[in-house]
Structure 1
Amino acid sequence: MDAALMPATASTASTALLTDRYELTMLQAALRSGAAQRRSVFEVFTRRLPDGRRYGVTAGTGRVLDAVEAFRFTTPQLDWLADQHIVDDATLAWLSDYRFGGDIRGYGEGECYFPGSPLLVVEGSFAEAVILETVILSILNYDSAIAAAASRMSAAAGTRPLIEMGARRAHEQAAVSASRAAYVAGFAATSDLQAGFRYGIPTTGTSAHAFTLLHDSERDAFTAQIESMGRGTTLLIDTYDLAEAVRTAIEVAGTELGAVRIDSGDLLMLAHRVRRQLDDLGAEKTRITVTSDLDEYAIAALGSAPVDGYGVGTSLVTGSGHPTCAMVYKLVARAASDDPDAPLVPVAKRSAGAKSSRGGRKWGARRVDQDGIAEAEIVGTGPVPRDLADRQLQVPLVRGGEIVGREPLAAARQRHLRSREQLPMSATQLSKGEPVIPTEYVTRSGHAG
């Protein structure tokens, strides 16, 4: 089975305590008031994009599905909640049988999004939906931030491949999630073996400076690597003198050497020098990979350099300055009463300032012009206008508690490429700006609101 389609199993670690305490105290109070079983609709959205960003990227959806499936309270967890007096016995009894039995719809993984986009809609009883808030937000906020940075980097790189190599710059589990998100948004490979094992992402890597320093000479190090990995390997050439390293590399490996890597210095200048030297030595097909604190701006600046690929670490796993997306999980509709057949009524936070929200279960669609280029994000409640019926962005993810939206990472990767290509060309400009398309709200009557 494709690694990206592997379901959570009984041995999967419980995600139930990846939550804030107030989720459970709200649950306890709602159980006592009798409102816990009211049908409710929660929505994940962001009020704004990170400063200067032109679009966002939905990522982590597959991980959310795994987390929802593994959201089961174990006996040790329940015992701990009891020992800490976090909730009462009635609530503990309810939690012991918890299984999410509602519905979830959302933007397909890899899809671009904008302020107000209803990225995830969770519908069920208040009790079963409210306690998913923290784990859902923690996944979507981080993964989408990494994917947005990765998308900007892959757009800047063009056809040149990108390697994710930030495992040593992040929490060990966050590093795995970052690899996955980066792959969705266009990276070709990762250095993180756990990400490769868990998600089927191609892995790559050869040696660090320590390997060269271990040996008595650079020649000895290169010889050992070639004998071990073959002539197609990548030699790290900036431990000592760069020009001497290139000469030694070709002497040892011959003109069939796969690639060289430059990890420090003025990469633009050094890439030109190394390319010229490799060509003079007859190694025209030997590729040049550059690393060293790259971000999307550095990658764009190297666009005219004779570089064949990039390795990106720190900037990627920190979201290139924006490590979260400010996504929120808000109640937008609830049943009018405790009656199971009661209609839903919109609810919304009406406080002053920028933290108000819009009520009602929403759909999202993208209007395009006659050339197929996106011109607006349409968010509405009620019936979808006929002209947007085939432009809806939400897909079924969970139905009646059953996961229905799992897909291979390759599908999310292709969706992102199609979605980004549909945006106006200015979307991938690295200069700061407003969202590349506006968000328009449509009322039940079909009019803009």
Structure 2
Amino acid sequence: MNTADLGLPVDVPSTALFTDQYELTMLQAALKAGTAGRRSVFEVFTRRLPEGRRYGVVAGTGRVLDAVENFRFDAGVLGFLRERKIVDEQTLDWLAAYRFSGDIWGYPEGEVYFPGSPIMRVEGTFAECVLLETVILSILNHDSAIAAAASRMASAAGTRPLIEMGARRTHELAAVAASRAAYVGGFTTTSDLAAGFRYGIPTVGTSAHAFTLLHDTERDAFQAQVNSLGGGTTLLVDTYDVAEAVRTAVEVAGTELGAVRIDSGDLLLVAHRVRQQLDELGATATRIIVTSDLDEYAIASLAAAPVDAYGVGTQLVTGSGHPTAAMVYKLVARAESDDPKAPLTPVAKKSSGGKTSIGGRKWAARRLDADGAAEAEVVGTGAVPAELADRQLLVQLVEGGEIVAREPLDVVRERHIAARANLPLSATQLSRGEPVIPTEYLQGRSGS
């Protein structure tokens, strides 16, 4: 596995340090106490959706699998831990041999989720599971937040394509992950070449205002671009006067000009004027692409405009106001000894302040109404009711430490489209509201 596939610099050999120090200090203390080998179940879930959101989107699962596979404490990492005296020698010896050997179950990537949904379940010894908390949450929280924003934008855009172009608005490694998550959520292309290289996402891009300003005249700039990229290119027409630029663009590229891009001004008004002008000039097939700090609300406001595609940057890579999905990773069951056959006991945090949890290994299923649309997220412990047996959501991702569920990104993307379509119609409303379906809990005897 090449670390470049994870969006990492090539000189970073593992993901083991993508963690918080207390994961390692807990490990050390558990090793000394003799409890590190107890069979344990951790679950990833969120207690609530971001304010106003109607559903969440599971994204980053494929990156989690890569990170787990690459979670290794090599000589350099161990040397750092030893030098800083993070943990003792006994713990370092244990880490040197670390390989996750447990099981991971989860919602398939691209699926939707709701408060309480057990999005991912990690099972194994306490020691091997606790180390993965930070890296799993880091990936799922970021990618799911971006995918949820992308999904809302895709709903607002309808059949019009969306271009992800947020690389310059976030960390360079986060930009690659954001592009991947946006593709899962419904975007069609990206401007980020690293994302195209690592994940096969289609890439697009032509020129910025700097290219126009470089040349003596706007006509010279357009001519240079057409000479290089052909008449099917996209010309940026708002550097100076839009109407004059559109006229010049058609004169230079001809009526077969591929597209014009508008990056400023009253986009609704300007788009109508540009469409009328293009049609009058005979460039009836020339598309109009709009950019300029768009979010789902701005996209929705342009639904009646003669726009053919949207380019979105800042609002997408920051989750359109919600840059995290607020997921947590909690121990929900553990054995009372390190005997592999010891039964599991449900455990849960019971503190006040809205941070309580429900103990026990969970299953999840989505109940459908008479028309086949989702009507409830059912989460339970113990036996699954017969009527929900074929509606279970969790699938096995890792078995005995081996990854068993890698998927092409296009499969994930199509799954999300289908999952969103299966929700009640109000899921696509941009107005603030509660989750589009409720979460119901069925508690039974927790199995071992």
TM-score for both structures, normalised by structure 1: 0.97
Structure 2 residue aligned with 1:167: 167
Task: Give CA-to-partner distance per residue, 1:397-446, whole Å, 9 cap, x none.
Answer: 00000000110001110110010000011111000001000000012279
Are the aligned partners of 2:381 and 2:445 in contact in 1 as well (CA < 8 Å)?
no
Contact 1:332 1:360 in 2 (8 A): yes
1:13 Cα deviation after fit: 2.8
Q: Which residue number in structure 2 is paired with residue 388 of structure 1?
A: 388
> What amino acid sits opposite 2:389 in the alignment?
A
Counterpart residue type for residue 308 of structure 2: D
Cα distance in 2 for partners of 1:201, 1:191 equals 10
Q: 1:276 Cα deviation (Å)?
A: 0.1
Partner Cα separation in structure 1 for residue 177 and residue 65 of structure 2: 14
5 and 219 in structure 1: CA distance in 2 versus 1, 3 angstrom threshold? closer
**Which whole-Å CA distance do the structure 1 matches of 2:407 and 2:5 have between them?**
6
Aligned AA (2:66)? D
Match of 2:194 in 1: 194
Partner of 2:149: 149
For 1:261, the equivalent position in structure 2 comes to: 261
**How many aligned positions are there?**
444
Report the CA distance between 1:352 and its aligned residue. 1.5
Distance 1:127 1:406 in 2: 25
Deviations 1:167-207 (A, max 9, x none): 00000000000000000010000000000000000000000
* 1:314 CA displacement: 0.1
Contact 1:12 1:70 in 2 (8 A): no
Which moves more between the two structures, 389-398 or 257-266? 389-398
Paired residue for 2:432? 432
Counterparts of 1:5 and 1:298 in 2: how far apart (Å)? 34
Structure 2 letter corresponding to 1:260: V
1:9-32 Cα shifts (integer Å, max 9, x gaps): x99730000000000000000000
1:418 is matched with 418
Please give the residue correspondences for 1:27-106 in structure 2 after superposition, counting only pairs within 5 Å.
27-106=27-106
SS at match of 2:261: strand
Structure 2 gap ranges (5+):
none
Asked if the contact 2:294/2:315 (under 8 Å) is kept, the reply is yes
* Paired residues of 2:5 and 2:198 also in contact (CA < 8 A): no
**Would the aligned equivalents of 1:41 and 1:332 in 2 still touch at CA under 8 Å?**
yes
Question: Equivalent residue of 1:201, what SS?
Answer: coil
Misfit runs of 4+, over 3 Å = none
CA distance in structure 1 between the partners assigned to 2:215 and 2:54 by the alignment? 48
CA–CA distance in structure 2, aligned partners of residues 357 and 142 of structure 1: 22
Q: Which residue identity lines up with residue 374 of structure 1 in the other structure?
A: A
On the 8 A contact 1:5/1:406 being kept in 2, the answer is no
CA distance in 1, matches of 2:402, 2:76: 26
Residue 205 of structure 1 aligns with which residue?
205
Partner of 2:408: 408
Give 3-state SS (helix, strand or coil) of 1:351's partner.
coil
Tell whether 2:110 aligns with 1:110. Answer: yes
CA displacement 1:252-284 (0-9 Å, x = unmatched): 010000000000000000000000000000000
Secondary structure of 1:163 counterpart: strand
Report deviation, 1:340.
2.3
Q: For residues 279-309 of structure 1, what are the alpha-carbon distances to aligned partners after superposition, in whole Å with 9 as ceiling and x for unaligned? A: 0000000000000000000000000000000
Letter in structure 1 aligned against 2:444: R
SS of 2:341's partner is coil
Q: Residue type of the partner of 2:356?
A: S
8 Å Cα contact 1:146/1:323 also seen in 2: yes
Deviates more, 1:386-395 or 1:198-207: 386-395
Mapping 1:161-310, distance limit 5 Å: 161-310=161-310
| Residue-by-residue CA offset, 1:62-84 (whole Å, 9 max, x unaligned) | 00000000000110110111111
Q: Give the letter for the 2:115 counterpart.
A: P
Other-structure match for 2:357: 357
Shift of 1:364: 1.0
1:138-158 per-position Cα deviation (integer Å, ceiling 9, x unaligned): 000000000000000000000
Given that 1:222 and 1:249 are in contact with CA atoms closer than 8 Å, whether structure 2 keeps it comes out as yes
Tell me the amino acid that sits aligned with residue 28 of structure 1.
Q
Q: TM-score, normalised by structure 2?
A: 0.97
In structure 2, the residue matched to 1:131 is 131
Question: SS of the counterpart of 1:328?
Answer: strand
RMSD: 1.8
Contact 1:110 1:413 in 2 (8 A): yes
Q: Report the Cα distance in structure 1 between the residues aligned to 2:287 and 2:192, rounded to whole angstroms.
A: 22
